[in-house]
């Protein structure tokens, strides 16, 4: 490991490893197969890129998306690592194949579709392989949230190169998925390293969706850096992107599978290169993005699962600086998710229902959001994190058991076919023609809810729908489900979170939380130089240097190459390429 630390300093410019990196690297260098479960931003790629510069032979990296591979390629090459990819988007495949056969590559990136082909196995046998790295390894598991069948075909390739260690990497795998990955990729149980799932720099906030555009506009006002907004449909992506661009004046672009491929690629490239752009996207976006300076991720509707939420929010703050994850939800989101269960194969239905219930628990909790997330992944976190909305401003909890019984009873007695608005009028005794025409003003539940309770009816209805206790019918009515019968019998207590006032916490302006020294002339000059160099080299700015590296330069003000080499993130290749230029700007200040 002494040699590994020397290479870490020389190639990447870092003095020491972080978190689980040394344990993973040590196993890889010893030739032992490993599954590393590490949070996004924990430096997973370094655990195979560094050994690739030390071990004889080529590290073959199997990765699911071309954009992700090319992002990794840019970063590796910027650090002087000999790297190439064999994908449908690469035109230099002959040169790449020749370089591999000649032993002139440290890293070779391929997609699982190519890696699983017999002819590719034959091609690989022409040179020495140091390591197989399987990125986004949760894709191999049917229990994972992003299953890819081609990943299940990788085992014959791995088995045909006896003695070559395997390194599987993922940020999102619960215990069941971890066990499946180990089995599918032939990794021994003692090869499992779980680094933990906590991302302490991300602040988690969950709000009921009142007006998504206005709520995200407020968030953009707090966070001037790059952001990602996830919407559930292509139409919503287009509408939200247009509205945000018009209302904020910030650059905002859409991204979804319905766009012309050239437009989609251009929008993604613009976002990766930008320091303030917001991209509004379906979940098709993001898996191929390794942009470290994303300052916020907002969900304009619920994600598919807690695993998906963790992965999508994990695209914020990969550089370790403060970032925000904001989810906006409605009862309709959960109603649609539960209705879609009918389209799922029967053997997968119970698992999908469990995922929806877990999301509902995250949304409805009055306790620490981070603790709910981490417990889902099998961890035993502290009761409070101090960096989620509930920890920062603890909500009240109200016992609404009796009101829930009244609401459920009204749904039942009106025939389980009317929407919330009608039920609300019945319970509050409203004078309404539709209510009286159906004789609902003569029911025992008519007018049994007073003014104080009435304001809780809507948040209670939302909570019961999220939990599956009230279920939306296909015609927009409500029927009983889940624990409704037990609640009506008095066997279950119903607590809900105290709803905030209309102008409440969602609209509260917070101070700018940027970790960057705003107004520091040297820091701004270094960022401007980085922009110019990035544009000239056609690279995203962060590939030149991260903000954290520029902050350290501005604080320490090195005057020589030797001093600059001590700054975190300045490796030998970058020192040679950019050192004198950055030193010149520092001397001017």
- State which of 144, 159, 194 marks the end of a domain: 194
Q: Is 223 exposed, middle or buried (0-12, 13-18, 19+ CB in 10 A)?
A: buried
376, 407: one domain: no
96, 124: one domain: yes
Q: Which two tokens stand for residue 536?
A: 């000239």
138, 217: one domain: no
pLDDT of residue 530: 95
Q: Quick count: other Cβ atoms within 10 Å of Cβ 473?
A: 14
In angstroms, rounded to a whole number, what is the distance separating the alpha carbons of residues 378 and 173?
A: 10
3-state secondary structure of 290: coil
121, 268: one domain: no
Closest among 133, 206, 124 to 170, alpha carbons compared: 133
CA distances from 307 to 97, 171, 174, 314 (A): 37, 9, 8, 10
Instruction: Kindly state whether residue 380 falls inside one of the protein's structural domains.
Output: yes
261, 166: one domain: no
Q: Is 511 exposed, middle or buried (0-12, 13-18, 19+ CB in 10 A)?
A: exposed
In angstroms, rounded to a whole number, what is the distance separating the alpha carbons of residues 314 and 172?
A: 10
494, 423: one domain: yes
| Residue 284 belongs to domain with CATH number | 3.40.50.300
28, 11: one domain: yes
Range of the domain at 571: 521-588
257, 374: one domain: yes
The runs of H, that is alpha helices, within 102-198 are 112-115, 118-124, 155-159, 175-185
Instruction: Kindly state whether residue 341 falls inside one of the protein's structural domains.
Output: no
Instruction: Kindly state whether residue 72 falls inside one of the protein's structural domains.
Output: yes
H/E element, 533:
helix 521-537
H/E element, 192:
strand 192-194
Phi, psi for residue 168 in degrees, rounded to 5: -100, 140
The owner of tokens 């766009």 is 259
| Radius of gyration (C-alpha) of the chain in whole angstroms | 27
Q: What is the pTM of this model?
A: 0.80
Closest among 304, 358, 299, 308 to 329, alpha carbons compared: 299
Nearby residues of 316 by Cβ (< 8 Å), 6 or more positions away: 202, 227, 228, 294, 295, 296, 297, 323, 324, 325
In angstroms, rounded to a whole number, what is the distance separating the alpha carbons of residues 114 and 411?
A: 55
414, 386: one domain: no
275, 369: one domain: yes
pLDDT of residue 145: 63
- State which of 465, 499, 533 marks the end of a domain: 499
| Mean pLDDT, contiguous 10-residue spans, the chain (589 residues) | 92 92 96 93 92 97 87 92 89 91 96 90 95 93 74 92 95 87 95 91 95 96 94 94 96 93 90 93 70 94 91 90 95 86 81 86 91 90 93 89 95 93 94 92 93 90 88 84 92 86 46 62 94 92 93 94 94 95 95
Instruction: Kindly state whether residue 511 falls inside one of the protein's structural domains.
Output: no
Instruction: Kindly state whether residue 335 falls inside one of the protein's structural domains.
Output: no
pLDDT of residue 413: 95
Instruction: Kindly state whether residue 407 falls inside one of the protein's structural domains.
Output: yes
Q: Which residues pair with 203 in a beta bridge?
A: 324
Task: Name the domain count of the chain.
Answer: 4
Instruction: Kindly state whether residue 344 falls inside one of the protein's structural domains.
Output: no
Instruction: Kindly state whether residue 513 falls inside one of the protein's structural domains.
Output: no
Q: What angle do helix axes 547-556 and 521-537 make, rounded to 10 degrees?
A: 140
Distance of CA 479 to the CA centre of its chain: 34
Nearby residues of 464 by Cβ (< 8 Å), 6 or more positions away: 404, 407, 408, 470, 494
3-state secondary structure of 26: helix
177, 302: one domain: no
149, 255: one domain: no
Q: Give strand ranges (E) for 45-172.
A: 58-62, 83-86, 107-110, 129-134, 166-170
In angstroms, rounded to a whole number, what is the distance separating the alpha carbons of residues 390 and 386?
A: 8
Instruction: Give the distance between the most distant pair of CA atoms in the chain.
Output: 87
- State which of 194, 214, 244 marks the end of a domain: 194
pLDDT of residue 509: 43
The owner of tokens 């194949």 is 97
| Residue 561 belongs to domain with CATH number | 1.10.150.80
């Amino acid at each position: 490991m002494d040699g590994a630390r020397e290479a870490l300093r020389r190639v990447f410019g870092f003095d020491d490893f972080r978190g689980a990196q040394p344990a993973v690297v040590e196993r890889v260098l010893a030739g032992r197969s490993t599954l590393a479960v590490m949070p996004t931003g924990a430096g997973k790629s370094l655990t195979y890129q560094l050994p690739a510069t030390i071990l004889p032979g080529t590290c073959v990296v199997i990765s699911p998306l071309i954009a992700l591979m090319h992002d990794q390629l840019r970063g590796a090459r910027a650090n002087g690592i000999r790297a190439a990819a064999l994908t449908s988007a690469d035109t230099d495949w002959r040169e790449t194949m020749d370089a591999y056969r000649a032993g002139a590559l440290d890293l070779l990136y391929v997609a699982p579709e190519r890696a699983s082909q017999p002819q590719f196995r034959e091609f690989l046998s022409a040179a020495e392989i140091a390591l197989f790295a399987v990125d986004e390894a949760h894709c191999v598991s049917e229990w994972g949230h992003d299953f890819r069948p081609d990943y299940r075909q990788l085992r014959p390739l791995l088995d045909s190169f006896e003695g070559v260690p395997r390194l599987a990497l993922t940020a999102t795998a619960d215990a069941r998925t971890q066990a499946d990955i180990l089995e599918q990729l032939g990794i021994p149980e003692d090869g499992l390293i779980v680094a933990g799932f906590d991302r302490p720099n991300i602040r988690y906030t969950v709000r009921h969706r009142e007006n998504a555009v206005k709520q995200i506009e407020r968030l953009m006002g707090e966070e001037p850096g790059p952001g990602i907004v996830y919407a559930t449909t292509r139409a919503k992506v287009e509408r939200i992107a247009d509205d945000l661009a018009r209302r904020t004046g910030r650059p905002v672009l859409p991204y979804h599978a319905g766009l012309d491929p050239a437009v989609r690629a251009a929008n993604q490239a613009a976002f990766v290169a930008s320091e303030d752009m917001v991209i509004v996207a379906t979940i098709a976006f993001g898996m191929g993005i390794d942009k470290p300076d994303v300052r916020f991720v907002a969900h304009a509707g619920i994600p598919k699962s807690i695993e998906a939420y963790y992965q999508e929010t994990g695209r914020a703050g990969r550089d370790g600086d403060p970032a925000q994850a904001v989810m906006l939800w409605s009862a309709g989101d959960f109603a649609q998710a539960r209705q879609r269960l009918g389209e799922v194969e029967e053997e997968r239905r119970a698992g999908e229902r469990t995922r929806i219930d877990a999301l509902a628990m995250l949304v409805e909790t009055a306790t620490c959001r981070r603790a709910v997330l981490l417990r889902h992944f099998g961890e035993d976190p502290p009761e409070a994190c101090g960096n989620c909305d509930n920890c920062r401003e603890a909500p009240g909890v109200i016992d609404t058991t009796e009101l829930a019984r009244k609401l459920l009873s009204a749904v039942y007695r009106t025939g389980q076919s009317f929407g919330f608005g009608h039920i609300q009028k019945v319970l509050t005794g409203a004078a309404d023609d539709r209510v009286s025409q159906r004789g609902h003003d003569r029911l025992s539940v008519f007018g049994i809810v007073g003014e104080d309770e009435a304001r809780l009816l809507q948040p209670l209805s939302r909570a019961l729908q999220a939990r599956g206790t009230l279920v939306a019918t296909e015609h927009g009515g409500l029927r009983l489900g889940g624990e409704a019968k037990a609640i009506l019998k008095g066997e279950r207590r119903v607590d809900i979170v105290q709803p905030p006032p209309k102008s409440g916490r969602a609209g509260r302006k917070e101070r700018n939380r940027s970790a960057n020294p705003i107004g520091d002339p040297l820091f701004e000059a270094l960022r401007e130089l980085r922009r110019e160099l990035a544009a000239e080299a056609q690279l995203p700015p962060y590939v030149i240097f991260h903000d954290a590296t520029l902050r350290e330069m501005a604080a320490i003000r090195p005057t020589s190459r030797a001093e600059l080499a001590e700054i975190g993130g300045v490796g030998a290749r970058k020192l040679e390429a950019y050192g004198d230029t950055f030193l010149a700007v520092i001397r001017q200040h």
